[in-house]
Amino acid sequence: MPILENRFEENVVFSTVDEMINWCRLSSIWPMTFGLACCAIEMMAVGAGQYDLDRFGAGAFRATPRQSDLMIVAGTVTYKMAIRIKRLYEQMPEPKFVMALGVCASAGGPYYEHGYHVLKGVDKIIPVDIYVPGCPPRPEALFDGLLKLQEKIRHQKVLRRLTPQEKSVIDETTRKYELETQKLAPLPKEYQA
Amino acid sequence: MQIQELFEALKKRFGDQVLELATPASGEPSVTVSAAAVQDVALFCREDSSLEFDQLMCLSGVDYPPEHLAVVYHMHSSTKHHRLILKAMVPREDPKLPTVSRVWRTANWHEREAYDLFGIVFTGHANLRRILLPQDWVGYPLRKDYVFPTEYRGIKCHD
Ligand code: SF4
C-alpha cells in the first residue's frame, strides 16, 4: 500500500479482499464472558481500565456464545464443566478461536497428577489456537497471546479455492470431529433442556 | 462452659450414647458420640439452655481405613461463646447416620457434600444428591482407597 499512497483521490485504498476481511476480523475479536477459576481474575484485570483489552478491539465481552469470536478458557476445566464448554464452543459461529489461558486450561496444570476431576487440557475436547502459559499468566501474557492470535488471523486465506490436499485434511478433521461428537453420551436428564 | 463440663452435661443426659472425650496434645478436644444418637444429641445441644449451640460451623467427613468413616460437627454458641466438636464413627461398609439438617438448616448442603465425597448416607435428609460432582460420577473421591477414573463420558482422563 505505501507505494501507492497519496497518488490517487481521497478515500481510495488498494488491498486484497483477504487482507480486508482479515483486518476486520482481527480488529474486532469479541470474547465470550466466562471464567472458570483464578485465571479469570487476570482476564478481568485485562478487561478493566488499567490494561484495557479494548485497545486491541477485543474488549467487547459477549454474554452469549452466539455473538462471540473468541473463547478464552480462563481457568481449571473440570469434567463437569468440560461437557458444557464443548457445547458452548459448538454454539459459537464460525470463524471461532480458542485461547487456553493458564496451565490448567493448557494441560491440567497443578491438577495434572492428583486432580481426579480435572480435564488435562481443554484441547482434549475442543481445538485450541493459542496456549498462554503461566499460573496465572500476567495480563501482558494474555495480550501477547491475543496479538499472536491476531497475527494468525492476519495470515488466513479466506477467499481462495482449497488445494485438494488441504481439502482432504479439512474433510478428515471434520469427519473425526463429527464421530467424536456422536460418541459423547447424552447429558443426564436433569440437565437436558 | 469448659470442655469437661460440656462433656459431663452430655454424659448426664445421654449416658452410654456419649462414648469418650478425646483431648489430644495438639488440636481441639472432641466428644465422640454413637452414630445413632447424633440427631438427638444435636437437638439437645441446640435447645438446652445451658448449651445453646445455635450455630453449626462445619460438618465434615473423615476416612479412617480400613474400618471406619467419621462425621465431625463443629458447633458454636453465639450466646454462650463456647465451642464443641462432636464426632460420630460409622462402619465403612454401611455408613449411615441420622441427618442433623433439621436441627441446623446449614447442615443440608454440608451433608450433601459429605455424601458426595465420602459416600456417607444421612438418613432422613430431604434431598441427598451429589452437590459438587456430576450426578453420574462413580465413586467417592475423598475416600483413601478411591480409584481415579480412566474415562468420563468419552473423555480420556490421562494420555
Ligand atoms: S493455571 Fe493457575 S491461576 Fe490459572 S486457573 Fe489454574 S491454578 Fe488457577
Per residue in A51-81, pLDDT (tens digit) is 999 999 998 999 999 999 999 999 999 999 9
The pTM assigned to this predicted structure is 0.79
How many folded domains does chain B comprise? 1
Mutate to test the interface with A, among B117, B143, B155, B158 (most CBs of A within 10 A): B155
Give the domain extent around A35: 16-158
If pLDDT is split at 50, 70 and 90, which confidence band does A184 have? low
A82 in contact with B, Cβ within 8 Å: yes
The pLDDT of residue B99 = 95
Residue B38: give its domain's CATH number: 3.30.460.80
The predicted-structure confidence for A10-44, as pLDDT tens digits, reads as follows: 777 788 888 999 999 999 999 998 899 999 999 99
B49: three-class secondary structure by DSSP: coil
Q: Averaged over A100-123, what is the pLDDT?
A: 92
Atom 8 of ligand 1: nearest residue by CA position: A38
Is residue A166 in some structural domain?
A: no
Q: So what's the ipTM on this one? A: 0.80
Q: What percent of chain B has pLDDT over 90?
A: 80
**Strand B18-22 and strand A130-132: pairing?**
unpaired
Cα angle for residues B43, B46, B48 (degrees, 5° grid): 95
Residues 6+ apart with CB under 8 A from B103: B39, B42, B43, B46, B56
> Is B153 in Cβ contact with A184 (below 8 Å)?
yes
If pLDDT is split at 50, 70 and 90, which confidence band does B70 have? very high
The predicted-structure confidence for B29-66, as pLDDT tens digits, reads as follows: 999 999 999 999 999 999 999 999 999 999 999 999 99
The chain B residues in contact with chain A (CB within 8 A) are 133-136, 141, 146, 148-149, 152-159
Is residue A175 in some structural domain?
A: no
Atom 6 of ligand 1: nearest residue by CA position: A104
Residue A154 has pLDDT above 80, yes or no: yes
Residue B96 has pLDDT above 90, yes or no: yes
The predicted-structure confidence for A119-145, as pLDDT tens digits, reads as follows: 999 999 999 999 999 999 999 999 999
How big is chain A, counted in residues? 193
Is residue A67 in some structural domain?
A: yes
Between residues B104 and A157, which one has the greater pLDDT? B104
The pLDDT of residue A1 = 54
The amino acid occupying position A161 is R
Residue entry with cell 454462650: B80
Q: What percent of chain A has pLDDT over 70?
A: 90
Q: How far is the CA of B72 from the centre of ligand 1 (A)?
A: 31
Q: Which residues of A touch B135 (CB under 8 A)?
A: 188, 190
* Residues A111-142: b if buried by 16+ CB within 10 A, e if exposed: beeebbbbbbbbbbbbebbbbbebebbebebb
A154 in contact with B, Cβ within 8 Å: no
Is residue A170 in some structural domain?
A: no
How many folded domains does chain A comprise? 1
With the CA atoms of A144, A150, A151 and A154 taken in that order, what torsion angle do they form, in degrees rounded to the nearest 10?
-170
Is residue A31 in some structural domain?
A: yes
Measuring CA to CA, which residue among B77, B86, B76 is closest to residue B29?
B86
* Residues A32-58: b if buried by 16+ CB within 10 A, e if exposed: bbbbbbebbebbebbbeeebebeebbb
**Alpha-carbon gap: B126 to the closest alpha carbon of chain A (Å):** 18
> Is A124 in Cβ contact with B148 (below 8 Å)?
no
The pLDDT of residue B158 = 74
Give the domain extent around B16: 3-156
The pLDDT of residue A175 = 82
Residue B75 has pLDDT above 80, yes or no: yes
The pLDDT of residue A189 = 73
Residues 6+ apart with CB under 8 A from A144: A132
**Alpha-carbon gap: A116 to the closest alpha carbon of chain B (Å):** 6
Distance CA A75, CA B101 (A): 33
Q: Are A23 and A30 in contact (CB under 8 A)?
A: no
Residue A93: give its domain's CATH number: 3.40.50.12280
If pLDDT is split at 50, 70 and 90, which confidence band does A163 have? confident
Distance CA A69, CA A61 (A): 10
Could you give the count of Cα atoms lying within 13 Å of A91 in the half-sphere of its Cβ?
14
Q: How far is the CA of A38 from the centre of ligand 1 (A)?
A: 5
Q: Which residues of A touch B158 (CB under 8 A)?
A: 120
Distance CA B91, CA B100 (A): 19
A48-57, A110-119, B109-118: which has the highest mean pLDDT?
Answer: B109-118
